[in-house]
Amino acid sequence: MLVKARLPAEKRIEVVHVSLMRDPKFALFAGLFMVGKTEISDNPHLTASTNGRDAKYGRAFVDSLTDKELAFLIMHENMHKCYRHLTTWRSLWEINAGVANISCDHVINLQLVDMDPEETCLAFPRDRETGERIGAYDPRFRGFDTKQVFDILLEETEDEEPQDGDEPCDNPTGGGQGDEAGGAGKEKTNRQGVGKLKPMDVHDWQDATDGMSKEEKKQLERDIEQVLRQGGIYAGKVGGNMPREIGELLKPKVDWREVLRRFVRTSLKDRDSASWRKAHKNFLWQDVILPSILGKRMKWLVIAMDTSGSIQGPVLTDFLSEMNGCVKSVGADRVDVIYWDAEVAGHETYKGSTADIVHQTNPKGGGGTDPDVVVDFLQEKRLTPDAIVMLSDGHMHTNKPKWAGVKAPTLWCIIGNDNYEVPNGQKLVI
């Protein structure tokens, strides 16, 4: 009896690519498979890896998988590309590399299972001896984004004490893959089990940011967006659809910096103050009495920033730098910076448009999130600014009637939470 020879890994990946393109559920990603390079590695320890553009597969691991499991693995790597995980969440990797890796994988794997629950095209790779899934999978994270998963896992990791012989978990997915894909050497574990998950792949965060030039990164973003839009058209023709999460990615992007500048410029434009103490001379000869113009009124801005712990580091610095530029460009006469969490933790006043807020300010706070304290503070201190800029992640509740009494134009700058409903004014999602 003749036994059909198994195709080499290179050919199997090509065949699976074609089968995914033909399936209506995954036709959307047809062009994404062509972005970047696809390589096969003979490193026996490598499962798969990506730097957000290129995908690399371990030959031995590919040979161990069924065609459906290989399809799952290929989609997993390409979903990292789709979501630009290795650049979008670089800040999480800098906090805890291992938890960042696992968080990205949880999001992707749950979505892939939901895309094909009957496993007609994809099957979650499993260990041949134990039958357990290879990689992160926890239904409690269904519908979460990477940052939400990261926050939970990081807290669980910090709350758990290491078992005897275990080391603190700072890179649970980094071990066992070798140095070829950016592995971090010895695997570290903890009692909570994040570090003991058998990883499906490794993520080359370093190469994702340092291995590409600024122009290459921009071009990669353009390429990914273009192939997803084209893939959406193709999927529609073959009876497929676009998952909500990916549809969100393709919404027209708004330059938050330009919106912020426009709001400040409009709200703090030069204003003359009218007074009835003296009639306007230009109209007296017509027997028309109008108020005289006394001069320009002070331009006053309040910047109120959430420092409950979710907004810090580069995000806060970026925002302050942009606000500093806005203040100087419009020639604001006074800027009040308010730091708040469950209470007002800090209040700073800057006079004149030449103040360097970025380098002089001292952010304070770190617990709870209650934006209503800003309204109370404005009333208590009798602050009557021309405009208010709020910065938060939007994971909070507000007293809408209280904010309805705020007369100054208000711009709510919300970090990454499009679902938050502002109590007054405008919303700008950053």
Q: What is the CATH number of the domain that holds 278?
A: 3.40.50
Amino acid 171: pLDDT: 37
Does residue 262 sit in the same domain as residue 227?
Answer: no
Q: Is residue 1 part of a domain?
A: no
The total number of structural domains in the chain stands at 2
Q: Which residue has the higher pLDDT, 12 or 357?
A: 12
Does residue 240 sit in the same domain as residue 265?
Answer: no
Q: Is residue 4 part of a domain?
A: no
Q: Which residue has the higher pLDDT, 181 or 367?
A: 367
Residue 261: pLDDT above 60? yes
pLDDT band at residue 238 under the 50/70/90 scheme: confident
Q: Is residue 3 part of a domain?
A: no
Amino acid 190: pLDDT: 34
Contacts of 349 (CB under 8 A, 6+ apart): 334, 335, 336, 337
Q: Against a cut of 0.75, is the pTM above it?
A: no
Q: Is residue 277 part of a domain?
A: yes
Closest CA to 424 of 92, 409, 414, 415: 409
Does residue 291 sit in the same domain as residue 234?
Answer: no
Contacts 24+ apart (CB under 8 A), 253-261: 254/428, 254/429, 256/413, 256/428, 256/429, 256/430, 257/322, 259/411, 259/428, 260/322, 260/323, 260/326, 260/389, 260/411, 260/413, 260/428, 261/322, 261/325, 261/326, 261/329
Residue 79: pLDDT above 80? yes
Q: Count CB atoms within 10 A of the CB of residue 175.
A: 19
Does residue 206 sit in the same domain as residue 276?
Answer: no
Amino acid 324: pLDDT: 87
Does residue 403 sit in the same domain as residue 272?
Answer: yes
Range of the domain at 308: 256-429
pLDDT band at residue 393 under the 50/70/90 scheme: confident
Does residue 222 sit in the same domain as residue 288?
Answer: no
Q: Is residue 399 part of a domain?
A: yes
Amino acid 276: pLDDT: 55
**Among residues 249, 282, 305, which one ends one of the domains?**
249
Does residue 279 sit in the same domain as residue 403?
Answer: yes
Does residue 64 sit in the same domain as residue 109?
Answer: yes
pLDDT band at residue 281 under the 50/70/90 scheme: low
**Among residues 200, 224, 249, which one ends one of the domains?**
249
**Among residues 197, 226, 249, which one ends one of the domains?**
249
Q: Is residue 154 part of a domain?
A: yes
pLDDT band at residue 194 under the 50/70/90 scheme: low
Residue 313: pLDDT above 80? no
Does residue 73 sit in the same domain as residue 212?
Answer: yes
Percentage of the residues of the chain whose pLDDT score is greater than 70: 80
Q: Is residue 295 part of a domain?
A: yes
Does residue 178 sit in the same domain as residue 237?
Answer: yes
Q: Is residue 264 part of a domain?
A: yes
Does residue 261 sit in the same domain as residue 238?
Answer: no
Mean pLDDT of 266-278: 63
Backbone angles phi, psi at 276, to 5 degrees: -90, 0
CA dist 92 and 104 (Å) reads 10
Contacts of 410 (CB under 8 A, 6+ apart): 387, 388, 389, 390, 403, 422, 424, 425, 426
Q: Look up residue 365 and give its two tokens.
A: 């706070």
Contacts of 294 (CB under 8 A, 6+ apart): 272, 273, 274, 275
Does residue 236 sit in the same domain as residue 353?
Answer: no
